Every structure is written in structure tokens, then in C-alpha cells.
A and B are shown apart, each in its own frame.
Chain A
């Protein structure tokens, strides 16, 4: 077994981490916020991606759906980060080498990279996507990749508890 890095031990031993670990209420509350964050993030992204893939809300303009759902997704992401970081700190020693946590972080990075690439390229024309015909094929490819990557984030996230 490899040695635990110093920063992990420091994080694990912070008074706030200890308090969180030993609290019977705070930890479940944080996990609940985490799940609600997942619901908002994945729910928002799923609606947005499925609309771009023509599988949902066909009467709405793709641009309007994307514009409406992006803030919802970002709010979910903020909740995920705000709850996930303290959760990790409270269990840093046990979790730092967890292979599924690492896989989750890789997939999360790829999902965020996918968003950055989409926004840096094809999403610049978002304002013109008033109908399905005006949505470029590359936007649909980004949407499909997004669904796959975020599903992977959810799967690996659930596997962390079983490893």
C-alpha cells in the first residue's frame, strides 16, 4: 500500500474535516445537497442535450432551451462542488487512492472540457438555432458526448462507495 501524501493527511485532520466526519447530521445533509446537485446538473444537461438531439420538447427552439437550462446545470454543478469538496476532506485518507474517485475526476474533466470546447466553437452560433435544421451536426455530437460523459460521472461516483 502506498504512503498517504502529506496534503491528504493535513486535509483529513483539519478541525472542520474531523467535525464533519463525526457529525451524525452534517454528513447526511451534505450528501443530500450532493444528490440534489447531481439531479439539477444531470437533469438540466439531459434536457438540454436531448433537445439538441431532437428527442425532447420539439416545439421549443433549441436556443431557448439551451439558454434556459444552462444556469440550472451550473447551479447543480456549484452544489456538487460545494458539497463534494468537504465530503472528500472528511474522508480524504480513505478516498484519495480510490480508483473510482480518480476515474470520476477524469470523466468530470472530460465533461467540462467537452463543455468548454462546445462553447468555444459551435455554441458561438447559439443565437441562430431557432429550429432543428439550424443546429449544426457538431452540436449534436457534443450533446451525445455530454450525455455519455456525465452518465460515466454518475456511475463512477456511485462506485466510490463500493470500493
Chain B
């Protein structure tokens, strides 16, 4: 219930009221959520594909040793934009979102995606055979989970 209380409080805050009382502001936050998610997934999928398929986006030993180098900070920025805008969107109707049948699965899948992505960022530099296999497995799991998060997010509006 912590999340529900958080969204309810956000809904009654000055920022929540500002977002929820204005259609252009609410639509801007919605557009920010889509843009943030697109940025996050673009970075994630480009990086993960280059882990699965080392020749993607440039051959070379440096790329194969550190396939995700230079992607972590922009990924975290995209995630922050998506998370912040998402929280403001949920604050528009905390009850209907929180008790939506897809809300919990979306967050569970998001947790899997983020954890798999961070674990991947941690082991992708390792050159052992086992680490490479684990990296590829994590890259697949994370990519599928991220796409699932986007799909569940859209279906929240239909259930």
C-alpha cells in the first residue's frame, strides 16, 4: 500500500494539482512519458543487441570489451524522465491505476527489466566464456522485459 499512499499524496500536492488540472500540462507529461520510455528503450535495445550480436553498431575489440560503455548515464536519465512523468500520470487517478489488474504486473516486469539491465551493465565487461553467455542471456531477458513493460503500460488504459 506504500505506492498507493505515495500516489495519493502526490495527487494532492501542488505539483499533482498543477498537472491534473490542466489538459495541456497533463498531455505534456504524457508525451514526456512516451519520449522518456522511447529514449530508455532505444538506448537499452541498442546496447543489448550489441551484447547479443557484437558486430552491431561497429566492430572492434574496444566495442566487444565494453559494449555498454557510455550508455549507463543516458539510460538512467531516460529512466528518471519516464519514472517521474509516470508517477505524475498515476497521480491523476491513483485508485483506478493502483487497483488496475495490470498495474502490479507492469511494476514487477519493470523491476525485472531494471535489475537485469543493471546486472548486465555490471558483467558485460567481463571476458570469461561464462560471463559472455550470462551477458547474452541477461540482454535477452532485459530486452523482452522492457518491451513487455511498454505493452503493459499501454494496456493499462484499456483494462
Contacts and interface: CB of A to CB of B under 8 A. Distances in A.
Contacts of B153: 35
Interface string A49-93: 010000111111100110111001000000000000000000000
B46 A38 contact: no
B12 interface: no
A18 B107 CA distance: 35
Contacts of A60: 57-58, 63, 70
A68 B57 contact: yes
A47 B46 contact: yes
A55 B27 CA distance: 27
A38 B150 CA distance: 11
B34 interface: yes
B35 A56 contact: no
A32 B159 CA distance: 13
Interface string B147-159: 1001101110010
B23 interface: yes
Given A56-B70, A58-B70, A154-B35, A42 B57 contact: no
Interface of B is mostly: helix
B150 A158 contact: no
Contacts of B63: 59-60
Contacts of A41: 38
A151 B35 contact: yes
A70 to B, nearest CB: 11
The interface size bin for chain A is 35 or more
A16 interface: no
Nearest to A32: B154
Interface of A is mostly: helix
B154 A43 contact: no
Given A43-B43, A155-B31, A162-B23, A56 B74 contact: yes
A55 B34 contact: no
A15 interface: no
Contacts of B70: 56-60
A35 B58 contact: no
Nearest to B150: A39
Interface string A136-163: 0000000000000001001101110010
Contacts of B30: 158
A35 B31 CA distance: 11
Given A39-B150, A57-B71, A59-B69, A44 B28 contact: no
Contacts of B40: 43
B1 interface: no
A42 B42 contact: yes
A59 B66 CA distance: 9
Given A32-B154, A36-B147, A56-B74, A158 B34 contact: yes
Given A36-B147, A47-B43, A72-B46, 10 more contacts: A28-B158, A32-B151, A39-B34, A39-B41, A42-B34, A42-B39, A47-B42, A56-B71, A158-B34, A162-B23
Instruction: For the complex of A and B, list the 8 residue pairs with the smallest distance between their C-beta atoms, beginning with the closest.
Output: A43-B42, A64-B58, A42-B38, A68-B57, A155-B31, A28-B158, A43-B38, A158-B31
